[in-house]
Amino acid sequence: MFLTARQAQAAKPRPKAYGIPDGGGLTLWIAPDDHRYWHFRYRMGGKQPRISLGTYPAVSLQQARERAAECRALVANGIDPRKKRRDEKHRDALVQINTFKAAAEYWYKHKAEAGRAAATLAKIRTYLDKDILPELGDKPLQHITHADCARLQERIEKRDAHNVAKKTRGWLKQIFSQAIARGLCENNPASELRAIAAAGPAVKHHPHLWRSSRRAGSGRRSSE
């Protein structure tokens, strides 16, 4: 007989943990402290390992059955549910380590340790926090595209901060180059940003400065 929601709710704790089977390897385990856990037992490689599917009532009976069905499908295809979960956790941990923010902070620390001027470091820090990290910080390095970097450049250019956009291009290239050298990613999506950079405003010369420069130049030529 299958477990019912009423039974799962009404079961009382005992001095020792015990299980109420639902069938097909799914069991509700009840601990002496009345914590309740869904476990799925399966057979693989001559063993009968067990995997947790969550706690009751956060995971309902129906949800536990659905999770157990997913595990049975994995086992039927020769995939160990516990190993799959471990691999996914490991991959998620690597993604967190390999975020752009982590790479950028490593690069910034390297700049500081190399003895860069305090004013330069302050400028880098400002634009990292103001422009770069809000746009790219949480993204995994390997998921950042040329389009992502181009949008960042365009956003800075739209406020006519062309000098900042130029510096940002250089910093992005350095961050990704360093990440490639460390084996964290394979490509540098900031490598071609200069090709699509907007032209900055033309430099305006003040007339009186221009005339003074001309006179000074004429004077030097006369004396020669």
Q: How many domains does the chain have?
A: 2
Residue 27 lies in a domain: yes
Residue 159 lies in a domain: yes
pTM: 0.54
* Length of the chain measured in residues: 224
pLDDT in tens, 137-152: 999 998 999 999 999 9
pLDDT in tens, 155-177: 999 999 999 999 999 999 999 99
Residue 115 lies in a domain: yes
Rounded to whole angstroms, the Cα distance separating 84 from 201 reads 55
Q: What is the DSSP string of 88-123?
A: HHHHHHHHHHTBHHHHHHHHHHHHHHTT--HHHHHH
Residue 155 lies in a domain: yes
CB-based contacts of 93: which residues, under 8 Å, 6+ apart?
none
The range of the structural domain enclosing residue 11 comes to 5-79
Q: Helices 162-181 and 100-113: crossing angle, nearest 10°?
A: 100
Q: What is the CATH number of the domain that holds 180?
A: 1.10.150.130
Residue 134 lies in a domain: yes
* 186, 135: one domain: yes
* 60, 21: one domain: yes
* 106, 169: one domain: yes
